[in-house]
Amino acid sequence: MIRFAAFCLVALIQLPAVAGTFNQVVNIGDEMPDFTHLPSTWGAPVSASDYSDYDVLVLVSLANHCPWSNGADGDTSELARQFADQNVAFLGFSVSHREEDKLPAMIEHAEQADYPFNFLYDESQELGRALGATATPEYFVYNSDRELVYTGLLHNSPATNRGGSLRYTEGEPTDHYVRDAIQATLEGEEVAVKETQSFGCVVEYVQS
């Protein structure tokens, strides 16, 4: 069991599950929410249909201000590069209305972090809400039919990056949930671990 008590100041509030085991909105097998013309760090607006030909699409909830999101940057980028030649795409997205999380800052952060994937700004927060995203970082893996096959943590040892100092909560990761979900999906096999409890900075939704 992952021990996160020492990091309670940024831990997620535990809420009763409604849809999935941990996600209140989506369940495994659900269709990926559609999105259109979201501005991106690569310049051109992005729609879900732009990525329809990929065998696997991974959506990642991120936020520049969050030390947990920053702590995942290196491992997320490395994983995206590992699968770059296997028809797998990653897309980061931010829903935060903080100035340090909006598109101009996203462009700067993506360059500094050397993201090998595009990073989208969802100012409406509609994509984040439709995914039930509650944390940064949080991962959503979809198969070629755009059915959800995994959601939750990147691996079993979330990292924090404060002032350039990277620290894993549980030492070097041993259970690579997103990597294994991608590999199983590419091989036409069932994903062994389909859900984990996301952990990081709480996504700040605007009250309607």
Residue carrying the six token digits 């755009």: 146
CA angle in degrees (0–180, nearest 5) for 55-57-62: 165
> pLDDT value at position 19?
59
On the question of pLDDT at 12 being above 50, the answer is no
The one-letter amino acid code at 101 reads D
**pLDDT, tens digit (0-9, with 9 covering 90-100), for 91-146:** 999 999 999 999 999 999 999 999 999 999 999 999 999 999 999 999 999 999 99
- Do 46 and 118 meet the contact criterion of CB atoms below 8 Å apart? yes
What is the tens place of the pLDDT at every residue in 149-204? Answer: 999 999 999 999 998 899 999 999 999 999 999 999 999 999 999 999 999 999 99
Gyration radius from the chain CA atoms: 16
DSSP codes of every residue in 2-51: ---GGGTTSPPPP---SSSSS-SS--TTPBPPP---B-BTTSS-B-GGGG
Domain covering 5-13+24-120+143-192: architecture: 3-Layer(aba) Sandwich (3.40)
* pTM for the structure as a whole: 0.90
pLDDT number for residue 2: 41
